[in-house]
Amino acid sequence: MNLRAVILALLSKQPDTGYGIGRLLRRELSHLWVARLQQIYSELAKLESEGLVVAACAQDRHRPAKKVYSLTPAGESALDCWLAADPAPLQYRDDLLVRLYCLERLPADLPARRLEERRDEATRLVVELRQQLAEAGCGESPETGHLLALDAALARATSHAQWATRAIVALRKRSAGAQLTTASPLS
């Protein structure tokens, strides 16, 4: 997935400003994609130059004019092609796991501390996603795709929090002299 596809997908729901796209991305899709406003505006400029989006000036007498972007027919077609294409293989990249891979090189207390931070972060995300799911399901006609994406993110965050908890326990056992087995290092 790329930012281009994310922006086209968001604009397929409704026209919006670059700032509005950033806000929507943070509010509804932060569990799927992260982008800075600078990246969003840069991508919008490319999409506009390619004729996939068009910007209209919205004037408010109390604020400066702003560009509201919407999909062109070519943009809708590009989005439809992307939606119909096979998704990229699932890739999982986590620099914490690479650090744990080199556990022996880390100060003794650091791995457990990092895992506690990750567990706490995942636990906060679980709470946030449950709230988002509750709010999304309260509308007149909740969007099934949005609910499924939130549910997948919730399952991933829950699993990550549970794994981090098990890993912390395993590290504590290891520091107490217990051997971790290859069959199940976290049991």
pLDDT in tens, 99-118: 888 888 888 889 999 999 99
| E strand or H helix at 185 | none
d(Cα 47, Cα 8) in Å, to the nearest integer?
9
pLDDT for the residue 133: 87
User: Which pLDDT band holds residue 157 (cuts at 50, 70, 90)?
Assistant: very high
Q: For the chain, how big is the Rg over CA atoms in Å?
A: 21
Per-residue CA distances from 139 to 13, 30, 125, 136, 142 (Å)? 16, 20, 22, 6, 5
DSSP state of 16: B
Domain boundaries, the chain: 3-84, 95-175
d(Cα 22, Cα 36) in Å, to the nearest integer?
7
- What's the predicted TM-score (pTM) here? 0.71
- In words, the CATH class of domain 3-84 is mainly alpha
Q: Where is pLDDT greater, at 94 or 121?
A: 121
Do 16 and 56 form a contact (C-beta atoms < 8 A)?
no
Locate tokens 């930012």: which residue? 3
d(Cα 11, Cα 23) in Å, to the nearest integer?
13
